[in-house]
Amino acid sequence: MIAILSDIHANREALSACLAHADSAGAARFVFLGDIVGYGADPAWCLRTVMDRIAHGAVAILGNHDQAVFQRSARMNGRAAAAMDWTRAQLSPDAGAFLKTLPLEYADEDRLFVHADASDPAGWRYVTGPLEARRSFEGTPARVTVCGHVHVPRLFGLTAAEKCTAFIPTPGMPVPLSRPRRWLAVVGAVGQPRDGNPAAGYALLDPDTNEMRWMRVPYDVEAAAEKIRRAGLPESLATRLFTGD
């Protein structure tokens, strides 16, 4: 079983809850889909935790917020940029060096793990609908692509007749990613869900049965939000955790 965690965004409480949940669900492998830091108040702890998992065989790829730690981006909005300035100050130079080593994608058998649109991983385009999903499908031969970045769980399928379909997964319900069609799974966010459900999101993929489950894990939102406020980060970054919007 592969646990896939995306968009942790320095939310320590959400990350610990998801890791504990995945461990007890029997996950043997871990893939971190990027954006370990940014927005939240615990970037150093989250980074250390992910590095520790990597030392035990986990794989991590780069997200746009991770990249912004060592390479300033003009494309970030005010809130994200403010959080990024604060984040940089929290991290040691080692952290930046580590993030620099992360790859943009990770191919595993017929699966491709990438932070955003697979047709241009460094372009950080959002996969929000069938049109964007089709562009991503066309950019990779992988049968199953798994990405994050959007913070909203979705499953796109490409049929033998090249029709692109969209589906909203039900939490916990295994969905078969059957052949011959191709699939693009967007996992939700661990640390900053935006689909109206404040519970932390991650996914479990069983490579033997080809089934994927989108999990939701309740965590201590109160504590995570309080830390954001105490750090002097924008208030809206704290309040959105309660509503998941």
Positions in 22-81 near other proteins (CB under 8 A): none
Interface residue with other proteins among 178, 236, 239, 243 (CB under 8 A) is 178
Is 179 a binding residue for other proteins by CB under 8 A? The answer is yes
What is the size of the binding site for other proteins (CB under 8 A)? 17
Strands 175-176 and 164-167, by their bridges, are unpaired
Closest among 33, 51, 52, 41 to 14, alpha carbons compared: 41
Which range, of 24-32, 132-140, 158-166, 217-225, touches other proteins by CB under 8 A?
158-166
- 99 vs 164, which CB is nearer to other proteins? 164
Rounded-to-integer distance, Cα 203 and Cα 199, Å: 13
Is 92 a binding residue for other proteins by CB under 8 A? The answer is no
Rounded-to-integer distance, Cα 116 and Cα 121, Å: 6
Q: How many residues does the chain have?
A: 245
Strands 182-186 and 164-167, by their bridges, are unpaired
- 162 vs 220, which CB is nearer to other proteins? 162
The residue written with tokens 């069938």 in the block is 130
Is 167 a binding residue for other proteins by CB under 8 A? The answer is yes
**Residues 122-151: x where in contact with other proteins by CB under 8 A, - otherwise, as a string:** ------------------------------
Instruction: Determine how many CB atoms are found less than 10 A away from the CB of residue 233.
Output: 20
The answer to whether the peptide bond before residue 180 is cis (omega within 30 degrees of 0) is yes
Interface residue with other proteins among 54, 59, 104, 175 (CB under 8 A) is 175
Q: Contact positions toward other proteins, by CB under 8 A?
A: 155, 157, 159-161, 163, 165, 167, 170, 173, 175-176, 178-181, 210
